[in-house]
Structure 1
Amino acid sequence: MGIQQQPFRKRLMCETTTWLLFIFVFMISTIRGQIRYSVPEEMKEGSLIGNVAQDLGLDLRRLRSGRARIVSGDTSQYTELKADKGILVVKERIDREELCGDVMPCSLSFEIILENPIELHRVTVEILDINDHAPTFKSKVIKLEISESATVGSHFDLESAYDPDSGIHSLQNYVLSPDNNFVLKQLSNADGVRFAVMILQKPLDRELNPHLSLKLIAVDGGTPRRSGTVNIDITVLDVNDNPPVFNQSLYKATVAENAPIGTYITTVNASDADSGSNGLVSYTFSNVKGKSAEKFEIDSSSGKITVVDNIDFEKDKKYEIRVIAKDQGGLSDATKVVVEVLDINDNAPLISIMSFSSIISEDVSPGTTIAVFNVKDADSERNGHITCSIDSNLPFKIQSSLTDYYNLLSDVAFDRETKPEYNITITATDSGSPPL
């Protein structure tokens, strides 16, 4: 027919992501299916995830002729489709904690596409947790200085252990080595993180025992159970009558995800009725969540909290920090600081062409699929809300299919003698301010 095929090319116009397509029309049919698998983390390379051909009702010859392949997704390196056998296998070791952190459930989502005709199938692989981590303490030794005048019932906040595993495999219990002077009380934050408080049940006598050595053991719920231990060294001091008291049990603050290092978050404050050295209060973070101490720091004297590392809303939307105020006599109080991360529109939409046919017959009916493309935006809410458009004068239209997927369809009958080719620009724009 004397028509030359031209390759599509990608171009960027202002802050808008675009794909430039040269289209010549051909008939495509789109079939959609979804399957879900569940596998434990740390499976060996080559381990079977599922029989894709069987679960989708596809013939192996169809997988080969359609050049079946995995498309899209930043996690596609973890799985491999063996089209000759119709199975999905583990391609690379999967660490649930590294992949998802505290997010539950943890899953990989991607698509399998076939051509001639086009079929698009979504696959979700849920990664199940195994008990591959033991609870750990940030410090090797917890040092406490406690006055012998401390009253029965006085409480002493202890450093929390951290276990990246989830569910029953995460931290479940604390055990204090037997001691006549103290008992252990266990509490949980609103987010389920457990921490321990040591309660004085028998007065101390510095003249009899100036030093005490205890062990705090953190235990998870796996089978077999894993545990971590920290030593508690107590120095008994004279006369400290009043513990510090925070003026708030909960502090709330917000921070933009692009906040520079040094940005002020909030200031916590605890007062101590004692005078002299026993009334001096110092502030420290308790290691409740692994990442919080990496992103923020607290001035031990003033209680001022500031940013010390880059913050990314797409990775962590909220931080919860437990702060301990301790006086020079070893008495303490604790409070919680919740820092909400504010999203900014710092990610432009990204268009990926999944399948595209540059030649079509002039007699195809309206509604024929010309191309399938994927648009993703790492931002959230309105900053990640995408609108796709093309020139309204063109005889094509865009139709949404699966989440983040769109079909480019013919909209009218074609006449090659009148118009032998079309140049189509697809524009994906988010709803941020300003839009990208």
Structure 2
Amino acid sequence: MSRLLMYLLVLGSASQVISGDLLSAVQHRIRYAIKENQPENLRIGKLDEDLLQTPENENSELFSLIQSTKRSTLKYRLREPSNYFRLHESTSELSTKVSIDLEALCPRFCRDGLSAAQLNLFVAVWYEERPFSVIHVEVTILDVDDNSPQFPPTISRPYVLQLKEVIYKAGKQVELPKAIDKDIQPENAEIQYRLQSHLDDSSHALDTFHLVTRNDSRVMLVLQKDLDYERVQQYRFYLVASSPVSEERRPFGYVLDPQSAFHDQLEIQVDVLNINDIEPVFSQSIYNVEIPEDAKIGTTVHVLQATDRDANSTIEYSLENSNDLFKVQADGKVILINKLDFEKRNKYTFTARASDGEFYALTRLDITVTDVNDEPPEFVTNPPILKVEENQPSQTS
């Protein structure tokens, strides 16, 4: 049975007191230390034997009694019942009544700055059916690495981060939740963090993120690449908090494997939020179209079309220098709204705009009106009179 036993015996110089306030007069002190989580009925020590371990006790009457044949007549009784220890009245053997969990004792029994709990027992030693001496027994409960780190149950699962593209570029950091290790001793409460791929992750999240643990123990998710909604809309992976495998947890012949350390994991979901960060683009800088002058009102002259790689973007179109002959609808259709007349004007140039609400693109729209034989022949009034003499050769001008 593995246990740590440490005791220190201190003999007080007070003379024997045989009075009603004997129990408040501590004459001896014994200190023990055991590890937490020891099994029930663990033998901590024997008060009579341990009291004799230091030469400072040689001048004590209790020391003499214990050495004498009268040792068997001594009785050892706890001043108050204990929830944690039992004391054999005749043998003075002190043992555990239950398995003691240090984390359950703190902070009530843990001193400030110490990673252990101190439990105090006052033992009255009786001789010939009367109080003879008092022993103050201090039992220190030492921490062992018996707790695994856990993410608080109040944290949502999965833990969702909503990060806007453009704003979150390579090098940007985001704080992640921390796990908690209830162990009292700092080295036992050490937590290591790492990222682990999700089973169905096709976004290669670990190529985009890595972890940094700061000196103040904050866990930071660091971007290695710019977020781009048009490329990846969501990442999923695990944040794993593990406790290094300590000697208490390591069986004989154990080969240290960091992946098998006690751990907890928290699913992280990063939703990339779209931002209008891409301008619409026309495929041509100039569009040339033709329309016959006899086209009917309402005819679609041309359909403007720009592209925008932003997801879910909406493009609206307009003509910057429109007139009373043409208009453009929001969907890009350029419509004839009045009759054309080739003889009056046969060329129109407009600047067309495509806007996604944040950015816009411009192009030139040239509309040529083609002539249609829509004019009847007519005689010229008062034509000039031409005269030619007879017998002139052909092609005479």
Structure-1-length-normalised TM-score: 0.44
Q: Where is the strand percentage greater, Structure 1 or Structure 2?
A: 1
The structure with higher relative contact order (CA 8 Å, sep 6+) is 1
Structure with max Cα Rg? 2
Structure-2-length-normalised TM-score: 0.48
